[in-house]
Every structure is written in C-alpha cells, then in structure tokens.
Amino acid sequence: MSDPTPDAEPADRIAVDFGDDGLVPAVAQDADSGEVLMLAYVNREALERTRETGRAHYYSRSREELWEKGATSGHTQEVREVRVDCDADTLLYLVDQTGGACHTGHRSCFHRTVDGEHVGERVFDPDVVYE
C-alpha cells in the first residue's frame, strides 16, 4: 500500500504543479528512436508509482483510477527518465516501449495526420492482445 501522505520532496526535486484538478499531461517518448508514443494524464500518485517501480503509470480520467500502462496488454513502458517542463506542469517520460503504445495496435497513438493520412506503424493485432 502506498502512503497517502508522502514525505516532503528532496531539496533538488522539482515540485510538479498538479493544478486544480490534480493532473498534468505526460508525454511518453521512445527513449531510443525519439518517437512520440502517447499522451496521458498523471496525478501525484501515478508519478510516485512510476518512480518507485520504473514502469509508466497514469491516471485514467474516464475510469477515474490509477493505471499501469501495459497491465492488460503486456505492452509496458520502462521509464528511463522523467523530465518536467519549465512551468513544471507537464511531464515527459522517456521510455522503452514493449510492443505498441496504442490500443489500436500501432506503435504510436499519433499514427494519423489531421488530414486523415495513415503514417504510423501497426505492430500488433488488438483483437488478439485484448481478447
């Protein structure tokens, strides 16, 4: 069980601004290729779990729960580094992605241009993975 009242942050650690809703967007980027894989939201607990486990955790706004990426699909993200932007209200996860990040079977959730052109690589069959 995680402690609901975490200790004060170390002096050098950046105080993330989780804002009124307690969430910040987190961009997951492939640490090797640089491909932007997905964007999801993170609350304080999800960030703590990510740091503790080294695996990417997010907060699902629709299901209203903490969520470990790949817990169902096996397509986990090992987090090499967590960066924070200048305003400390956005995170960047540099990850080693197993399989694909997108539930559609694509490596990246950004597999379409806004004009509807398909530009992404499909790496698994979601009907098999999420059967």
63-92 binders of a second copy (CB under 8 A): 81-87, 90-92
Judged by CB under 8 A, which stretch of 10-18, 52-60, 63-71 contacts a second copy?
10-18
Tokens 């993330």 correspond to 16
**Minimal distance, residue 52 CB to a second copy, in Å:** 13
Q: Is 102 annotated as a binding residue?
A: yes
Q: Find the distance separating the first CA and the last CA of the chain, reported in whole Å.
A: 30
Site string for a second copy, 21-60 (x = CB under 8 A): ----x-x-x---xxxx-xx-------x---x---------
- DSSP string covering 6-74, please? PPPPPTTS-----TTTT-EEEEEEETTT--EEEEEEE-HHHHHHHHHHSB-EEEETTTTEEEETTTTTS
Q: Using the rule CB under 8 A, which residue among 44, 55, 103, 122 binds a second copy?
A: 103
- Is residue 114 involved in binding a second copy (CB under 8 A)? yes
Best CA proximity match to 24, nearest among 62, 67, 59, 76: 59
- At closest approach, how far in Å is the CB of 89 from a second copy? 9
> Residue type at 111?
H
Q: Which residues are annotated as a binding site?
A: 85-87, 89, 102, 109
Interface residues with a second copy (CB under 8 A)? Answer: 10, 12-14, 16, 25, 27, 29, 33-36, 38-39, 47, 51, 81-87, 90-92, 102-104, 106, 109-117, 119
